[in-house]
Chains A and B, each alone.
Chain A
Amino acid sequence: MRILIFLIILLLIPVNAHRMYVDYKINEIEVYAWYGGGESVVNGNVKVYRSDGSLYVEGKTDENGTFRFKPEIGETYRVVIESMGHRAECNVNLSKVVVREEPMYLKVVSGLGYLMGLAGISLYVARRRR
């Protein structure tokens, strides 16, 4: 009988030792605020709203422009950051977070292009009026 138990234990131990578990838990969401061009927003007022519009948590961004909060799974949040008249917001969906910014030189070039276009149009209109 003892030998049998010993054998069973012997058989079980390696089986147990090979069993491995992986699970995950989301503890924190980190939001990051910056001004166009890359300067981070320090000490900005952060307000996080639930999907129904009620306030979930509020605070201030640190010196790197980041703010962390504990989310509830399955909820989507709207994060609003304000600093001295500037305001930006983003939606945090726990399945994906996408924040993208086009390269700055593209924006500058397109702005100058618009201005040239505007100048051209106004010159054209002025000429036709004559």
Chain B
Amino acid sequence: MRPRPGTVLLSALLIVLVASLALPRTAHADDPLAEKELQVERQLGCPICTDLPLNVCDNELCQEMRGVIHQKLSQGETPDQVVAYFVSRYGDSVLLSPPQQGFSLAAWYLPFLALVLGIAIVLTFLRRSLRRRKVVERRFQDQEPTLDPYRQQVRRDLEKMEKSR
């Protein structure tokens, strides 16, 4: 069966969607260390106020934490290691987004599952709707062949209308 244009469009959109998940978020690399610091700070939230990202929180604890990040990164630790260090000290709640493991995977993937389910439901609905329509069309065609010229006239008129839109 030849793929329907609608299906092609939908799958193209889905691919774009998944692909953009995998791409990086920011890009300015004049200072690699500062860039890494920001990368770590943006993943962590202030442990004592309302989850403000570390890079924009001005209380003393956050200043200290930024100092630790700077120190560890300049000693050659990777951003992931530094993030892991803070998780081991403060627990998962220091992260600004749930970790991609265990139960928290549900946070990340449930929305996409729901969307895929939604798309499936809509597609089934559309297909059923289209099939019902075709059956009706065929039945009437078989019964009343004399209406054919009128039907063609209507189709021509409609096309003309669409063109002149």
Q: Is B a genuine binding partner of A?
A: no
